[in-house]
Amino acid sequence: MRRRMVLAGIGIGLLAFTGQAATLPGAGAFSFASIDGGIVDLADWRGKPVLVVNTASLCGFAGQFDDLQALHERYGARGLLVLAVPSDDFNQELADAQAVKEYCAVNFDLTLPMTDITHVRGAQAHPFYKWMAAEHGFTPGWNFNKVLIGAQGEVLGTWGSAVKPTAGAITKRIEPLLR
């Protein structure tokens, strides 16, 4: 009886963590609050690749917003979701989501989907990033770390800040996944 209660508790814990029944999810089990209001649900992109990038407006790597937008324009119609995840975990983000949205629109003509300001590391990290740390040993070490998610929610690659989103190491992984 006690064992069943423990197992039931584990199942409930997984349900609370992933929003799904007691199975370990792929990345498609997660959703983010959108900077525009509403939700960006990765499950809506199952069957398509997703590039998730933690960003910060005031970071020295912010020029990569241009590359993220270029990927969005080049591959978006073929199925790629480029998702910017603004974070102030490295103290380089603006004060609120509206300021981030305006800054990115004015300075980078950004039209790709963005989340609300989100924690990407530590105890307050978004469940996606907690899952990446626990299941894949990946925690962003700085802004503009990239995670490529495959069609079934599997992690296909991670890259640090120094690797541009348009680098061959990333685009060569994306292109075979497109329709």
3-state class of 39 per DSSP?
Answer: strand
- Strand pairing report for 50-55 and 146-149: antiparallel
Whether 104 is catalytic is no
Q: Structure tokens of 110?
A: 């950004």
Cβ(152)–Cβ(46) under 8 Å? yes
What span, in angstroms and rounded, lies between the C-alpha atoms of 87 and 171? Answer: 24
Which residue in the list 27, 59, 68, 85 is annotated as catalytic?
A: 59
Helices (H), the chain: 2-18, 64-75, 97-108, 127-136, 168-174
Q: Which residues does the annotation mark as catalytic?
A: 59
